[in-house]
Structure 1
Amino acid sequence: MNNILKKNIWFWLIGFSNLLLDQISKYWVMKSFIEIGDTIPFLPRIFHFTYVINTGTAFSFFEGGVIWLRWISLGISIGLIVLSLFGEKMKVLEQLGYGFILAGALGNGVDRFFFGYVVDFLDFRLINFPIFNLADISINFGIILLFIVNFYPKSSSNLFR
């Protein structure tokens, strides 16, 4: 089993370290804020920590869909774990990309299973962007890395092995 985990070590390191950071940050928010909607300006009118809950996906799409979204999060997480355990050894950037997506899917999935909603708190007011969390960042960063892996010129792909 040890060799199976070592095969895609960056997947596991990124996946579980970012899951831990996501869950610690959400715990901090839930313990530091008294009510949903409370905010702490870090850079006033630019960036705040604002405690909100989300029963949907990114940008509150599918609001109230937490029941089926929790199962999608679980399915994606299980699929990525199976891919890492039983698939080929991935390039480093693939491992990182899938690891970030695993962290985000598990992070928001844990919230959906245990609370019935996702805790969001990163509030960029300068651009009036929807409030999000570290799991959301992980998913987006993972997708960007996978785009790089798939669209980077093949002649240079050896740089990422």
Structure 2
Amino acid sequence: MESAPTREAPRQRAAVRPQDGWFLVLAFAVIGADQAVKWLIRQTIERGDSLAVVWPLKLVHVTNSGAAFGMFQGAGPLLVMTSILGMIAIVVFLFNPSFAHPLMRLGLALMLGGAVGNLIDRVKDGEVVDFVKVPNFPAFNVADSAITIGVLVLVWAMLREPQPSQPGD
């Protein structure tokens, strides 16, 4: 007896669906908030000065020509290229059906908004404005916070995502 030919499941394609719009709205909100607060810092605090808010938090006006935590100082062109490649990867994953869980997309949207926010500064000024300072930690900004929170949300979602069962389990 001949068995019926097996069909492979059609491969799902990455696509922007109407219900995914809020992920893009979130990414744009992060970009807007990041750029607005950096503009405000540039207008109100002289570069190098600080303003005590509530211990241990200070607002500062410092710039960083490197990556997170001051690494790769002066590597602007390399950081621009890696940012662009990273953003492309995030967009691909953001609309990939394998990353359909809302928490995964939330993390990716936060990462995308943060990456674009810092890229704008890097391209426009050659450096990123950082303004939040706590003791024993490098200064950071809204974009850095969004990237960090996005990574944590993404990892948490991936750890919580049930793994598909393997044949024979």
Instruction: List per-residue Cα deviations over 1:38-93 (Å, max 9, x = no partner).
Output: 1111025x1110000001111101111111101111222233234445x3272110
* Other-structure match for 1:103: 113
TM-score by length of 2: 0.80
* Other-structure match for 1:159: none
Q: 1-side partners of 2:24 and 2:73: how far apart? A: 31
- Paired amino acid for 1:110: I
* Other-structure match for 2:166: none
1:27 matches 2:39: yes
Structure exhibiting the larger radius of gyration computed from Cα positions: 2
Aligned-pair distance for 1:20? 0.7
- Following TM superposition, where does structure 1 have runs of at least 4 consecutive aligned residues deviating by more than 4 angstroms? none
* Other-structure match for 2:91: 81
* Other-structure match for 2:51: 40
Does the CA-based 8 Å contact 1:15-1:99 persist in structure 2?
A: yes
* Other-structure match for 2:142: 134
- Unpaired runs of 5+ residues, structure 2, are 1-14, 164-169
* Other-structure match for 1:146: 154
Instruction: List per-residue Cα deviations over 1:78-112 (Å, max 9, x = no partner).
Output: 33234445x32721101100000001110111110
Does the CA-based 8 Å contact 1:5-1:12 persist in structure 2?
A: no
TM-score by length of 1: 0.84
Q: Percent identity?
A: 30
* Paired residues for 1:64-79 under 5 Å: 64-79=74-89
- Unpaired runs of 5+ residues, structure 1, are 156-161
Higher helix share: 1
Measured on the aligned residues, the alpha-carbon RMSD in Å equals 1.8
Aligned-pair distance for 1:9? 2.4
Aligned-pair distance for 1:5? 4.8
Distance 1:5 1:117, change over 3 A: farther
Instruction: List per-residue Cα deviations over 1:14-59 (Å, max 9, x = no partner).
Output: 211111111101011111123x211111025x11100000011111
